[in-house]
Amino acid sequence: MGLTLTEKILKAHIVDGEFKKGTEIGIRIDQTLTQDATGTMAYLEFEAMGIPRVKTERSVAYIDHNTLQNGFENADDHRFIGSIAKKHGIYFSRPGNGICHQVHLERFGVPGKTLIGSDSHTPTGGGLGMIAIGAGGLDVAVAMGGGAYYITYPKIVKVELVGKLRPWVAAKDVILEVLRRLSVKGGVGKVMEYVGEGVKTLSVPERATITNMGAELGATTSIFPSDETTRAFLKAQGREEVYTPLSADADAVYDEEITIDLSALSPMAACPHSPDNVKSITELGAMHIDQVCIGSCTNSSLADMMKVAHILRGKTVAPNVSLSIAPGSKQVLNMLAQNGALADMIAAGARVLESACGPCIGMGQSPNSAGISLRTFNRNFLGRSGTKDAQVYLVSPEVAALSAINGYLSDPTTLGDMPEFVMPEQFLINDNMIELPADECDADKVEILRGPNIKPFPETHPLEDNISCKCSLKVGDNITTDHIMPAGAKILPLRSNIPEISKHCFAVCDENFPARAKELGKSIIVGGSNYGQGSSREHAALAPLYLGVKAVVTKSFARIHAANLINAGIMPLTFVNADDYDKIAEGDDICLDNVFDAVKNGKMVMTVNGKEKIELACAFTDRQIDILKAGGLLPYTKAGK
């Protein structure tokens, strides 16, 4: 029996565990990436481990999230990350060099390698044939120190692509179709592996758009084969020497299979407030719009920008629309400037933003009250844009550009013939905004620069055998990490200061929660299904840790957040009977007794108000139990486990 591409790469990197579905495995990590919203904490954690030099083949620190500097905090974090990168052997991508996933695809990604990043959209690297996985900052810190990264050996879904996209139908429409079919929790515990003749018709940037939004499926990662298209992209980036042909065996066996006919797709949009709430542009009709934002790690490649410039050329943005465009990297922005496409955008009335995440994480460009915003981004969660009552639709760059001109939601297939947008034979290569680390012999001379907003990792406590506390909060289904620990221009600067950022924990759901939890001293949180979907931000676990949360009990968890809770020393527990969710209310007294025996046996009994007995599942591995008993991954790692 042959192997899938996923199995080939995992098998080559496995260092702990069995090559068996559903079991925990540890894999060797070749590359890591961080971004500044998660990076400061990740590097504080790395420092705490006492390891002088990263042990990966390549680790890169990017500055792309907290680039709005209306106080000293973000600038101090950037300075700290730059100094620690220089000291510990990490490449440093300076502010203005671009979005981490776009730059990594261009300059560092290697087919067949493993990559983890402290950003949930790290699977973008799967467009190059990498096993690229989003993770919490602490997991990334451990990997930089040479430790294995642990995942549950995933199911592998064969996504067979047939046919070819029609003119003006985009890669964004492919992943929106997958989301429409499978939902935001349809990929949990799975890898989406793309195969078939249709793969050959997609460029690397198009493949990367699809793998990028695999994160919205809840998937562990997504991957395309490494083929001649991959080779051409790497050659154009001056990196052909890292190319390796990689694909699944002809007789590979998959756990699930779906088929998508590319030629049958039409332009689509994910409607408020979830990436899987997908409808066709035709269904939605000529809806009035207020804002269009083009960019993000999903759709900011040169090819995307050239299509946008073509549509805007000689036109003017509608009077009722604010259009912003953020090219994904300095390379893209430079090439647009040189070939005249940037001038077309500016002439049309676009507001050109820096090469950064920007509006995607609520960092500027918030829509007007109750505004309708079309965005080429990957998430449209309630309030993520910075305007709580905004209606955000996720669309392709083609839909976005035409709609900006018309002033209403528009179908780009009405444009007729589409020019052939050919990838350049040679990209403009200038890595002058990537700082190299100091030589190992000079590392001791590098001073780590810390600002007053940078606080230590919060204190952790070993797992208790008996926990008596109250339920401090009860929330519903599909709670995102944006609900738990919001982003945006006001809160992101506090990412290196857990005591301060914890004051905003769950503010979207209940602004009184932080004070209530702090006063209780210790508590549990109760949630519905798919709890913790969205970002990899470990702050959604570290803030509850600081506020005394001992366990989170839900119907089900998103993968990364469950791992982050364990890393923080907080137990993620699930109801054996989902209906028991209705038996708990905020303020109830909770008892968890004989915890040590329960986590070994995989079942725990929770007593509510001294009488109601509720059975909980706690399917932890021996390693995870040891992490919880130690009080989290950091003390566990420091103890030499």
DSSP 470-487: EEEEE--TT-BHHHHS--
Exposure letters 34-51 (e unless 16+ CB within 10 A, then b): bbbbbbbbbbbbbbbbeb
pLDDT digits (tens, 9 = 90+) for 432-449: 999 999 999 999 999 999
**Superfamily of chain region 467-638:** Aconitase, domain 4 (3.20.19.10)
pLDDT digits (tens, 9 = 90+) for 353-363: 999 999 999 88
pLDDT digits (tens, 9 = 90+) for 276-285: 999 999 999 9
- Domain 5-264 sits in CATH at 3.30.499.10
> Considering the chain, what percentage of its residues have pLDDT values greater than 70?
100
Pinpoint the residues of the chain covered by CATH 3.30.499.10.
5-264, 268-411
pLDDT value for 638: 85
pLDDT at 640 over 80: no
- Residue 265's identity, in one-letter code, is L
CATH number of this structure's domain 268-411, picked from the four choices 3.30.499.10, 3.40.640.10, 3.40.50.12160, 3.10.105.10:
3.30.499.10
**What size, in residues, is the chain?**
641
pLDDT value for 548: 96
Query: Any idea what the Cα angle at residue 488 is, between residues 135 and 388, rounded to 5°?
Result: 115
Residues 217-227: what's their mean pLDDT?
Answer: 98
pLDDT at 292 over 70: yes
- Cα–Cα distances in angstroms (integers) from residue 421 to residues 16, 167, 342, 415, 536, in the given order: 45, 11, 16, 15, 34
495: left (phi over 0), alpha (psi -120 to 50) or beta: alpha
525 — pLDDT class (breaks 50, 70, 90): very high
> Considering the chain, what percentage of its residues have pLDDT values greater than 90?
93
Residues 208-226: what's their mean pLDDT?
Answer: 98
pLDDT value for 577: 97
pLDDT value for 641: 58
Residues 479-493: what's their mean pLDDT?
Answer: 90
pLDDT digits (tens, 9 = 90+) for 541-568: 999 999 999 999 999 999 999 999 999 9
Q: Where would I find the H helices in 340-414?
A: 341-348, 397-406
pLDDT value for 318: 98
590: left (phi over 0), alpha (psi -120 to 50) or beta: beta
Alpha-carbon distance of 59 to 91, in angstroms, equals 6
123: left (phi over 0), alpha (psi -120 to 50) or beta: alpha
pLDDT digits (tens, 9 = 90+) for 578-601: 999 999 999 999 999 999 999 999
Residues 440-459: what's their mean pLDDT?
Answer: 92
Residues 415-420: what's their mean pLDDT?
Answer: 91
Residues 609-624: what's their mean pLDDT?
Answer: 95
DSSP 146-207: T--EEEEPPEEEEEEEES-PPTT--HHHHHHHHHHHH-TTTTBTEEEEEESGGGGGS-HHHH
φ, ψ for residue 13, nearest 5 deg: -115, -5
pLDDT digits (tens, 9 = 90+) for 62-111: 999 999 888 999 999 999 999 999 999 999 999 999 999 999 999 999 99
3-state class of 550 per DSSP? Answer: strand
pLDDT value for 138: 95
Alpha-carbon distance of 293 to 295, in angstroms, equals 7
257 beta partners: 158
263 — pLDDT class (breaks 50, 70, 90): very high
Element (H, E) at 78: helix 72-88
Residues 408-427: what's their mean pLDDT?
Answer: 94
Alpha-carbon distance of 182 to 276, in angstroms, equals 8
